[in-house]
């Protein structure tokens, strides 16, 4: 044992103790000073080297892996501080030198404690490794792409082996097609909505109709045959299939008359249809990758793409883009996987039908002649004698008379001959308003009665040598919209073959008359006439003008969104409505106190011609004042406790409407009705129509 391990021979020197709480203690004779090392530590003697070695054993944290480095750092950090030895400690400390056995026992305890701490260290290291691996696993999981694959039947809403997903111009429709006998079938309503609106289905008689520029095609449900006008044709598939309340139409048949291309793919069943032609954005894939349900690596995989695969870009995002593959798979793809984006023009050889129209070179100036009896036809010379510039007359001769498609006629060959002698064309009016017992909806929605009505009209036109037909079907409901348009299509072909001009009367466009489909009317009919009047009528919620200039302008503007100006005729009124206002409860409230919520009066109205209206208010001493907002004069007077108010249609208001016609380069003007105007009105008209 080194001498340093013994008590120094000089008095007052310190003794080295390697016990649990090691101290430097002085002899009892000297002042007792105790040096304590901060931290929970042990100083021990290196007996083998014969020199003092300060060794530190400390409690280690789980991540203190470098034992020696931390031990040295701790030795360098520690400071010694003197403290006075407590009385209890002096009593516990044995006097005199300790025996070797005692020192050995303490050394053994130290080794035992060191050995006891080794498992703790190993456990700490193990825990550290486990935690690190767990964290690494979380990071890897968070930033690694998902390998989950989307259930494609669920993705494309496939519920049976007959179901076929529809991919139209890169967009998946919610609706499903059918795959029967090796052919794809679509609900005809989808065909109408997305591919070709001219397919018409009569669910009453189970007949499909399609009208081209020259032919009417007819197909019976469940048949492989079809008729083109009067010629029979056949296919190797059933053209129309009825499944419950739905009618399905073979896409092969649709393609015969529609500029579309399509291809069928399996797993899952899907049909890729191209109906829009023009420029698209295409790109090739840089390397093998996949497309996903949404933009993000955690989104399920829709399909795998090989290098050089071609995709169409549907929606280009900052990091991800929505694409459609050549076989109709739709999903999102990382932009960095895309090669150079190119613009390509999609086109297909297809012969579009060419629709021609019988249009007059000079502006149309049409007057409606209301005829209610055969005797009225005899007065045609007097009617025309007072007009100027009229080149077309439309007598109200025909109307739907029953549910079989028969028409009532007041036509006169002498009437037509007289008009032709005066270079005036006759476009006879066909109406659905006169006989309330005749159900327009029934007649139009049944192919047999609709055909019969068409044939009756054409037969009458030929019989009386008419120049045209003016169709005036009003008060229709939305449910009959498709059938009404089909009626116009079928009638137009027969008119064209018989050299008859077809004009169709229409309300000023509104949301609730959109089913009149003025755009499709203009494809088949020669002229579309805007009835620019009845802004306020007997059933209106309040009184007002028959045709204010704002109402007329808006009607023209909205019609021209669907109809070319050279096919548009603006009809204007020769009449005014005289409103009779009766105060409620006899209270006599002022007419001007009316609000949208409350009218202090009840009202009725009468229709009166230009001169009659002027006589009415002047006879009561009233004066008319000009309304810039309405584009017409307004007059008002009181009589016998009632108020009479009128928005006056005369030469001044007529000229405002003719200006709108001229400014929009319309095909001409029409007037309801002959006999309500005064002679001076024609002087205004001929300034704009001749």
In the predicted structure, residue 38 carries a pLDDT above the cut 50: no
- The CATH number covering residue 261 comes to 2.30.30.40
Note whether residue 184 is domain-resident. Answer: yes
Looking at residue 35, its pLDDT comes to: 40
In the predicted structure, residue 104 carries a pLDDT above the cut 60: no
Starting at the earlier edge strand, list the strands of the sheet with 225-228.
200-202, 207-211, 216-220, 225-228, 231-234
In the predicted structure, residue 293 carries a pLDDT above the cut 50: yes
Partner residues linked to 398 by β-bridges: 409, 430
Same domain, 276 and 304: yes
Same domain, 446 and 515: yes
Rounded to 5 degrees, what angle do the CA atoms 192, 194, 196 make? Answer: 45
Do 340 and 283 meet the contact criterion of CB atoms below 8 Å apart?
Answer: yes
Note whether residue 229 is domain-resident. Answer: yes
In the predicted structure, residue 34 carries a pLDDT above the cut 50: no
CA 127 to chain centre: 57
Q: Which of 94, 115, 136 is the last residue of a domain?
A: 115
Of 449-463, 562-576, 585-599, which range is least confident?
585-599
Looking at residue 425, its pLDDT comes to: 99
Strands (E), 473-561: 501-507, 527-531
Side-chain half-sphere exposure of 247, counting CA atoms within 13 A: 22
- CA-nearest of 198, 50, 67, 51 to 124 is 67
Region 272-277 average pLDDT: 97
Higher pLDDT pick, 24 / 329: 329
In the predicted structure, residue 647 carries a pLDDT above the cut 70: yes
Of 86-95, 416-425, 523-532, which range is least confident?
86-95
Looking at residue 105, its pLDDT comes to: 56
Please report how the helices 680-689 and 651-663 are oriented relative to each other, as an axis angle in degrees rounded to 10.
10
In the predicted structure, residue 95 carries a pLDDT above the cut 80: no
- The CATH number covering residue 424 comes to 3.20.20.80
Same domain, 315 and 282: yes
Same domain, 292 and 400: no
- CA-nearest of 680, 624, 620, 670 to 648 is 624
Percent of residues in the chain assigned helix, strand, coil, to nearest 5: 30, 30, 40
What are the tens digits of pLDDT across the range 240-271?
Answer: 999 999 999 999 999 999 999 999 999 999 99
| Cα separation of the two ends of the chain | 139
Do 561 and 672 meet the contact criterion of CB atoms below 8 Å apart?
Answer: no
Note whether residue 93 is domain-resident. Answer: yes
In the predicted structure, residue 33 carries a pLDDT above the cut 50: no
Do 377 and 410 meet the contact criterion of CB atoms below 8 Å apart?
Answer: yes
Higher pLDDT pick, 341 / 136: 341
Same domain, 312 and 373: no
Looking at residue 13, its pLDDT comes to: 41
Where is mean pLDDT largest: 400-404, 586-590, 686-690? 400-404
Same domain, 403 and 528: yes
Note whether residue 520 is domain-resident. Answer: yes
Q: How many domains does the chain have?
A: 3
Region 122-143 average pLDDT: 72
Same domain, 159 and 106: no
CA dist 306 and 308 (Å) reads 6
At 609, is the secondary structure helix, strand, or coil?
A: strand
Note whether residue 446 is domain-resident. Answer: yes
CA dist 658 and 569 (Å) reads 11
What are the tens digits of pLDDT across the range 462-482?
Answer: 999 999 999 999 999 999 999
Domain that holds residue 203: 155-346
Higher pLDDT pick, 65 / 536: 536
Same domain, 330 and 374: no
Of 87-96, 190-199, 579-588, 592-601, which range is least confident?
87-96
At 581, is the secondary structure helix, strand, or coil?
A: strand
What are the tens digits of pLDDT across the range 221-236?
Answer: 999 999 999 999 999 9
What are the tens digits of pLDDT across the range 314-367?
Answer: 999 999 999 999 999 999 999 999 999 999 999 999 999 999 999 999 999 999
pTM listed for this prediction = 0.79
Looking at residue 144, its pLDDT comes to: 80
In the predicted structure, residue 162 carries a pLDDT above the cut 70: yes
Note whether residue 569 is domain-resident. Answer: yes
Note whether residue 105 is domain-resident. Answer: yes
Do 518 and 507 meet the contact criterion of CB atoms below 8 Å apart?
Answer: no
Looking at residue 165, its pLDDT comes to: 98
Q: Which of 315, 346, 377 is the last residue of a domain?
A: 346
Looking at residue 49, its pLDDT comes to: 40
Same domain, 323 and 466: no
Please report how the helices 549-559 and 651-663 are oriented relative to each other, as an axis angle in degrees rounded to 10.
20
Quickly state the pLDDT bin for 109 (edges 50, 70, 90).
low
Note whether residue 131 is domain-resident. Answer: no
Quickly state the pLDDT bin for 64 (edges 50, 70, 90).
very low
Same domain, 195 and 291: yes
Rounded to 5 degrees, what angle do the CA atoms 369, 478, 605 make? Answer: 45
Q: Which of left, alpha, beta for 668 (phi over 0: left; psi -120 to 50: alpha)?
A: left
Sign of the alpha-carbon dihedral angle for 186, 190, 196, 199: positive
In the predicted structure, residue 634 carries a pLDDT above the cut 70: yes
Same domain, 679 and 546: yes
Looking at residue 271, its pLDDT comes to: 98
What are the tens digits of pLDDT across the range 411-451?
Answer: 999 999 999 999 999 999 999 999 999 999 999 999 999 99
Looking at residue 516, its pLDDT comes to: 98
Could you tell me where the DSSP H helices lie in 562-650?
610-619
Same domain, 374 and 267: no
Q: Which of 95, 115, 135 is the last residue of a domain?
A: 115
Sign of the alpha-carbon dihedral angle for 416, 419, 421, 425: negative
Looking at residue 559, its pLDDT comes to: 99
Looking at residue 37, its pLDDT comes to: 38
In the predicted structure, residue 528 carries a pLDDT above the cut 80: yes
Task: Collect all residues with Cβ–Cβ distance below 8 Å to 556 and sequence separation of at least 6.
Answer: 530, 532, 568, 570, 660, 661, 664, 666
Looking at residue 514, its pLDDT comes to: 97
In the predicted structure, residue 311 carries a pLDDT above the cut 80: yes
Looking at residue 123, its pLDDT comes to: 78
Average pLDDT for the chain? 87
Of 2-11, 338-347, 543-552, which range is least confident?
2-11
């Amino acid at each position: 044992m080194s001498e340093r391990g013994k008590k120094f021979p000089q008095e007052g020197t310190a003794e080295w103790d390697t016990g649990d709480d090691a101290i430097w203690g002085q002899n009892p004779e000297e002042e007792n000073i105790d040096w304590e090392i901060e931290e929970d530590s042990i100083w021990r003697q290196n007996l083998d080297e014969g020199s003092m070695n300060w060794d530190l054993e400390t409690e280690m944290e789980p991540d203190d892996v470098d034992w020696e480095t931390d031990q040295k750092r701790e030795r360098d950090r520690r400071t010694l501080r003197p403290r006075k030895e407590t009385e209890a400690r002096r009593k516990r400390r044995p006097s005199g030198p300790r025996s070797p056995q005692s020192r050995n026992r303490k050394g053994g305890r130290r080794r035992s404690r060191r050995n006891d701490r080794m498992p703790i260290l190993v456990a700490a290291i193990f825990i550290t490794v486990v935690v690190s691996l767990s964290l690494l696993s979380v990071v890897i999981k968070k930033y690694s792409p998902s390998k989950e694959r989307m259930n494609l039947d669920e993705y494309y809403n496939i519920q049976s082996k007959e179901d076929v997903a529809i991919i139209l111009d890169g967009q998946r429709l919610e609706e499903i097609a059918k795959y029967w006998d090796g052919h794809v079938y679509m609900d005809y309503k989808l065909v109408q909505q997305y591919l070709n609106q001219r397919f018409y289905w009569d669910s009453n008689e189970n007949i499909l109709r399609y009208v081209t520029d020259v032919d009417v095609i007819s197909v019976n449900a469940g048949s492989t045959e079809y008729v083109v006008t009067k010629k029979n044709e056949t296919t190797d598939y059933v053209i129309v299939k009825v499944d419950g309340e739905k009618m399905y139409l073979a896409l092969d048949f649709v393609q015969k008359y529609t500029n579309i291309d399509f291809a069928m793919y399996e797993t899952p069943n899907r049909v890729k249809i191209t109906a829009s032609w023009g420029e698209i954005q295409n790109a090739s894939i840089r390397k093998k990758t996949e497309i996903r349900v949404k933009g993000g690596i955690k989104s399920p995989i829709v399909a795998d793409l090989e290098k050089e695969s071609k995709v169409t870009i549907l929606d280009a995002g900052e990091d991800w883009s929505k694409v459609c593959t050549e076989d109709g798979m739709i999903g999102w793809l990382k932009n960095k996987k895309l090669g150079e984006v190119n613009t390509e023009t999609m086109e297909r050889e297809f012969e579009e039908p060419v629709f021609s129209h019988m249009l007059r070179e000079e502006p149309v100036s049409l007057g409606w002649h209301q005829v209610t009896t055969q005797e009225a036809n005899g007065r045609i010379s007097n009617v025309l004698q007072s007009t100027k510039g009229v080149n077309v007359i439309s007598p109200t001769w025909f109307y739907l008379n029953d549910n079989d498609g028969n028409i009532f006629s007041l036509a006169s060959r002498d009437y037509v001959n007289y008009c032709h002698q005066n270079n005036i064309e006759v476009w006879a009016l066909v109406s659905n308003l006169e006989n309330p017992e005749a159900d327009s909806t029934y007649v139009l929605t049944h192919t047999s009665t609709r055909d019969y009505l068409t044939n009756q009209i054409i037969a009458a036109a030929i019989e009386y040598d008419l120049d045209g037909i003016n169709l005036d079907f009003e008060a229709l409901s939305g449910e009959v919209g498709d059938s009404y348009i089909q009626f116009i299509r079928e009638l137009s072909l027969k008119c064209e073959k018989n050299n008859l001009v077809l004009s169709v009367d229409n309300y000023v466009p509104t949301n609730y008359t959109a089913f009149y489909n003025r755009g499709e009317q203009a494809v088949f009919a020669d002229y579309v006439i805007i009835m620019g009047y009845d802004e306020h009528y007997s059933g209106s919620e309040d009184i007002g003008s028959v045709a204010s200039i704002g109402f007329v302008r808006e009607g023209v503007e909205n019609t021209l969104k669907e109809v070319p100006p050279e096919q548009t005729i603006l009809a204007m009124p020769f009449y005014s409505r005289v409103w009779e206002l009766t105060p409620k409860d006899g209270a006599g409230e002022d007419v001007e106190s009316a609000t949208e919520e409350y009218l202090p009066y009840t009202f009725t109205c009468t229709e009166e011609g230009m001169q009659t209206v002027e006589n009415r208010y002047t006879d009561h001493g009233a004066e008319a004042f000009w309304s810039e907002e309405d584009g017409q004069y307004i007059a008002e007077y009181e009589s016998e406790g009632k108020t009479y108010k009128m928005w006056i249609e005369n030469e001044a208001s007529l000229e405002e409407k003719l200006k709108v016609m001229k400014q929009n380069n319309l095909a001409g003007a029409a007037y309801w009705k002959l006999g309500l105007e005064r002679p001076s009105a024609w002087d205004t008209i001929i300034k704009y129509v001749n």
